[in-house]
Amino acid sequence: MRIDKDTRGWASRLTTFALRFLSVQGKSVGFAVCLFLGIALTAYLPLPIARYDLLLIYVIGLTLAFYLAGWETGREVGVISAFHLLGLSLEIYKVRMGSWEYPGEAATKVAGVPLYAGFMYAAVGSYICQAWRRMELRVVNYRAVPMTVLAFALYANFFTHHFWPDLRWLLAGALLLELRRTWVYFTLGDRRYRLPLWLAFILIGSMVWVAENSGTFLGAWRYPSQADIWCLVHVGKLGSWSLLVSLSFVLVATVKSTEGKLYGRPRTAKERGRPYVTSVEMAGIEPASACPTSGLLRAQPEEVFSAPHDHQAGCEIGPVTEKSRASW
């Protein structure tokens, strides 16, 4: 079968995009990978102390190492610590309600929950911090106050649904409504792309669900359905994690707003450096005039991030220069 030049060009660009994306994602999940490496090794190697106690020492050292190496800033460590405490509180409550359990013994267990458990939530915060820096994330049409209210309402519902009506789907609908015009922009190579923020939450939640299956398989914790033999975590947990990711994002976004790295501003003509090309031209599909007004993954518009609420959707993409990079 003969493949024309345009198809080869599109496939080459898509491959380049995928390789760059996976490379950056691999670096961004460094803390989570190291955490699960520790969980895996302690499952099979002889240990001098209780497994959960050793894991706590390990993750504290890991957090310190990331900070000293400059991979996490002081503010980011603060956010990660806050999410550790929020996650630990949720763990204690859920274990008490019988949602899951930690079968091993440890001196550092509180109400049946090992203290290292909160770091599994912190790993999500670490990933978002790393991705924000490495991919130069920015958001448009992001309203901090409504998002914060919804994120904490979703977090509270994980507690209250045991004795009040479960409002997660109502809150999930409100979250989707709030995020209907919110986009997250990211850099790969010298190009900017955008993705709906709600879709980013689902993708991250899916990866957390995969990690949760790995953790239960390694015996770090288990659900009642896994008491006799291991089985996949119920797919419904994927939705729960996607909703909980919103809280991680809100905490990180709060820090980034104080650093001036939540929103952005338009680039000047001098900063643009050279004419823009469109995402469809880059893919070699059709002329810029045919660029659609919808789609999940799109390139950046010419007027970039003038304010959180005045962005107009577009499909042009511009070069990333060192000067414009410094201004974001």
- Enumerate the domain spans of the chain: 25-183+196-263, 267-328
What mean pLDDT is predicted for residues 255-262?
78
What mean pLDDT is predicted for residues 314-322?
41
Which pLDDT score is estimated for 8?
66
Which pLDDT score is estimated for 318?
43
Q: Are 62 and 34 within 8 A, CB to CB?
A: yes
Which pLDDT score is estimated for 75?
82
Confidence class of residue 297 from pLDDT cuts 50, 70 and 90? low
Which pLDDT score is estimated for 199?
94
Q: Are 190 and 136 within 8 A, CB to CB?
A: no
Comparing 100-109, 210-219, 296-305, the range with the smallest average pLDDT is 296-305
Which pLDDT score is estimated for 200?
94
For the cut 80, the answer to whether the pLDDT of residue 312 exceeds it is no
Residues 6+ apart with CB under 8 A from 112: 92, 95, 96, 101, 102
Calpha distance 148→154 (Å, rounded): 10
Calpha distance 65→298 (Å, rounded): 36
Q: What angle do CA 261, 64, 33 make, to 5 degrees?
A: 80
Out of 23-32, 51-60, 315-324, the most confident range is 51-60
What mean pLDDT is predicted for residues 256-260?
79
Q: Are 81 and 19 within 8 A, CB to CB?
A: no
Q: What is the mean pLDDT of the chain?
A: 80
Tens of pLDDT, residues 134-148:
898 999 999 999 999
What mean pLDDT is predicted for residues 190-203?
91
**Percent of all residues in the chain with a pLDDT value above 70, rounded to a whole number:** 77
Confidence class of residue 167 from pLDDT cuts 50, 70 and 90? very high
pTM of the model as a whole: 0.77
Which pLDDT score is estimated for 15?
86
Which pLDDT score is estimated for 276?
34
What mean pLDDT is predicted for residues 147-151?
93
